[in-house]
Amino acid sequence: MLQITDLKLDCPAFDKYITRYSAPVIPTKARILYFHGGGLLYGSRKDLPKQHIETLTSAGYEILAFDYPLAPAAGLEIIVDDVCSSINHACENECPYTDSSLPYFLWGRSAGAYLCLLAAAGNKLNQTPKGILSYYGYGFLCDDWFCSPSTYYQTLPTVPSTCLSVIPGNLHTEGNLDTHYSVYVYARQTGEWKNLIYKGREKFFYLNYSLRLCDHLPCPLFAAHSTGDTDVPYAEFMELCSRYQPTRFIASGTVHDFDRDVENPLTEKLLNETLLFLKQHSV
């Protein structure tokens, strides 16, 4: 039976929560620390499809889904520091929601995968994860795609810059589709995405917030991507694979978050291969 628990974390700068998914009657093999997608501009820790949650928890994996502050109110430095703090907090077992003696994995979808990769590569974690699950993640390894207008998003109705005026200016973690998604569309249509998530010198963006200087990760990587991804180019995935030699899952199609379609047989296959990776690296 699935158990879902929401817990508030001690964070003076903004409201921050964690959602714990577990199956109490099943012995826990490992913890999975999950970070959601949304281009760092929108999204929610509760975006996981029910099928994903039930498949993993019924196999003995506890999922801890974390909030993190969103851009542009929070810049990359604040976001990454918060994610690293969340990971270290869970590993130190300062709260009664988890057992720090268990091995742990990092899991992110899209921007969440980027944050997991950056956290692991940045040498800021007190305990090394057993592995990373990257669903259509990236490391800003290839030029131009993230700072140029997106051909795909330019086919959508034009979003004006006034969309920025309706989102909060204070630090916050919830970015719903009604307000925040339009900011992401605007960012990709105009090529302003990088400028909305990072305010510093370009040199330090590549030094500190890309994986371009990271030759190897401290743990195994599972990387999934679709061949015609409309948000993150397949070339970015191939560069990630070239550097880190992950266990690969390649889906044919043009949907970025292809696993959101739980009726698609590819989603079940992806989850089964994810379970196999977890089992291989849990020891």
C-alpha dist (Å) from residue 58 to 22, 84, 103, 205 = 8, 27, 17, 40
Statement: residue 44 has pLDDT above 60 = yes
pLDDT band at 123 (very low <50, low <70, confident <90, very high): confident
pLDDT in tens, 1-27: 899 999 998 888 888 999 999 998 999
SS3 191: coil
Of 95 and 243, the one with more pLDDT: 243
Strands 17-22, 104-109: parallel, antiparallel or unpaired by DSSP?
A: unpaired
The encoded tokens of residue 23 equal 């199956």
Residue 172's pLDDT band (boundaries 50, 70, 90)? Answer: very high
Residue 4: the pLDDT is 95
Instruction: List Cβ neighbours of 164 (8 Å cut-off, separation of 6 or more).
Output: 72, 183, 186
- 231 closest CA partner among 261, 195, 256: 256
Percent of the chain at pLDDT > 70 equals 97
Q: What residue type is 185 in one-letter code?
A: V
Domains and CATH numbers, the chain: 3-281 (3.40.50.1820)
Read off the pLDDT band of 224 (50, 70, 90): very high
Mean pLDDT of the region 102-130: 96
DSSP string, 60-107: TEEEEEE--PPTTTS-HHHHHHHHHHHHHHHHHT-STT--TTS-EEEE
Average pLDDT over residues 25-36: 95
Look at residue 14 in the predicted model and tell me its pLDDT: 87
pLDDT > 90 fraction of the chain, expressed in percent and rounded: 87
Q: What pLDDT digit, counting tens, does each position of 95-106 carry?
A: 556 666 789 999
Give the closest residue to 140 by CA, choosing from 44, 235, 245, 38: 235
- Cα separation, 19 vs 82, whole angstroms: 16
Residues in the chain: 283
Mean pLDDT of 137-142: 98
**How much is the pLDDT for 206?**
96
Specify the pLDDT at position 98.
63
Above 70 in pLDDT, residue 93?
no
pLDDT tens, residue by residue, 187-198? 999 999 999 999
Bigger pLDDT: 83 or 101?
Answer: 83
User: Residue 82: its pLDDT value, please?
Assistant: 97
